[in-house]
Amino acid sequence: MFPTKDTAQKSQNSNSPRTRRLRQPIPTTFVQFALAIAALTAPKVPTLTAAKYDASLVARVKQVLPNSPGACVLAIDGGQVVFKQGFGVADVQSKEPCTPATNFRMASVSKQFTATAVMLLVDRGKLSLNDTLDKFFPGFPKYGEKITIRHLLTHTSGLPEYETLVPKGTTLQLDDLDVLHLLMDAKAPLFPAGEKWEYSNSAFVLLGLIVEVAAKKPFHQFMADEIFKPLEMNDTVLYQRGFNEVKNRAYGHSKKDGHWVRDDQSVTSATRGDGVVYTSLDDYQKWLFAHAQRKILGESSHHQMFSPQVKTTRGDSSYGFGWFIDEYRGTRRVYHNGDTRGFRICVQAFPDRLAAILLQCNGEVEEDMTKVGERLADVLIFDREQSLTTKPVTANRTHPAASP
């Protein structure tokens, strides 16, 4: 069962000034949603195909999709899949169509996978949320003695953002050790650990390295052996060039002279803990099932991940471990976006409705992905019955993901 408010509060450091500023933990969090969607694995839920969806609903979805060469959309409501379909192409060169089996780079949505790996090792007694950086990285500047794993998970570490430390003119991709060295050369933090919230890719790169140290195996291999393979997420990888490959791969794209061109990698595209998981709609469903059925984390770790740990500077949202938490249309929401070279991703879940949406785009969408996700949630969850009965307005879009 879920921890109560009182139990959840005891699990936090009540003497911390930062903790006192937090709003009360949600008594029933995303785990409630996850438990309910376990019904998706039951035989009564059919595998749906595009042909089985109401034409007006498909038209509504196309209408709200952003400009992108391709897109994949998953929607769950009431614990059942109500929409799962690909649009457009995975690669403008090959013209391969997007399908529910197409693997997109999840960008910062990958942080929930990194956080899960950390909490799995906490459950196994190999890590503590109070472990500090000096335990894992000898020679790290003295301020690392004050930065804990909990600070890294909640974006309250004060670490400098490594992207700002990359020397001008760098053309070779950075790996995690390059990031570690850049941070070790930075002699002061941006602010004392725990003083405030500031989104940090640096923190999650270090978390990936910490998993390697604690697990005594490469991060990508740990994810494959301990999470992806046991959950039969057979096409999901934490991508590391030369060590694994992405099956059914969607390539990223950007606009050049008004046309989409493949544009998939940047100098920072090879760092792992902050954003290199590739997965599909089919496999991401399994990821939800795993949390639903407690196949990965214990109750306490699961609860902490999906409960508010710190207030953010982004509207009224809080942050758990790898998830933002707020409300939409009066309903609790846990969500995260991903934004990297050639890809835009959005996942939003609504525990009270036992609902969620996932949108994967392989183009550099210029719109706010949170707003795009809300439009999809409106069409596929909150206003779905209306979408089925109301004739859609013709979309003013010419890109493959939105056109019939």
The yes-or-no answer on residue 202 being catalytic is no
**Residue that wins the pLDDT comparison between 127 and 33:** 127
The Cβ of residue 225 has, within 10 Å, a number of other Cβ atoms equal to 13
pLDDT in tens, 132-191: 999 999 999 999 999 999 999 999 999 999 988 888 887 778 889 989 999 999 989 999
Instruction: Check pLDDT > 60 for residue 197.
Output: yes
Among 108, 269, 280, 307, the active-site one is: 108
Q: What is the pLDDT of residues 9-62, one digit of tens each?
A: 333 333 333 333 333 333 344 444 444 444 443 333 333 444 478 898 999 999
In 3D, which of 305, 292, 336, 306 has the Cα closest to residue 123? Answer: 305
Is the pLDDT reported for residue 396 higher than 50?
no
How high is the pLDDT of residue 390? 61
**pLDDT for residue 269:** 67
How much is the pLDDT for 230? Answer: 95
What pLDDT is recorded for position 27? 39
Say how far apart CA 277 and CA 45 lie, in whole Å: 28
At residue 400, does pLDDT exceed 80? no
pTM for this prediction: 0.84
Tell me the average pLDDT across 285-307. 87
- Using 50, 70 and 90 to split pLDDT, how confident is the model at 392? low
Across residues 189-198, what is the average pLDDT? 97
Place of tokens 């950075």: 174
Distance (Å, whole) CA 309 – CA 271 = 26
**Higher pLDDT pick, 4 / 70:** 70
The residues, any chain, with a CB within 8 Å of residue 172's CB and separated by 6 or more, are: 267
The predicted-structure confidence for 313-365, as pLDDT tens digits, reads as follows: 999 999 999 999 999 999 999 999 999 999 999 999 987 888 899 999 999 99
In the chain the domains, ranked by start, together with CATH numbers, are 5-389 (3.40.710.10)
pLDDT in tens, 65-118: 999 999 999 998 988 889 999 999 999 999 999 999 999 999 999 999 999 999
Specify the pLDDT at position 52: 76
In this prediction, residue 161 carries a pLDDT of 94
Q: For residue 68, what are the CA distances in angstroms to 178, 262, 291, 359, 368?
A: 32, 12, 31, 12, 14
* Residues 205, 179 contacting (CB under 8 angstroms): yes
**What pLDDT is recorded for position 180?**
94
Sequence-distant (≥ 6) Cβ neighbours of residue 371 within 8 angstroms:
none
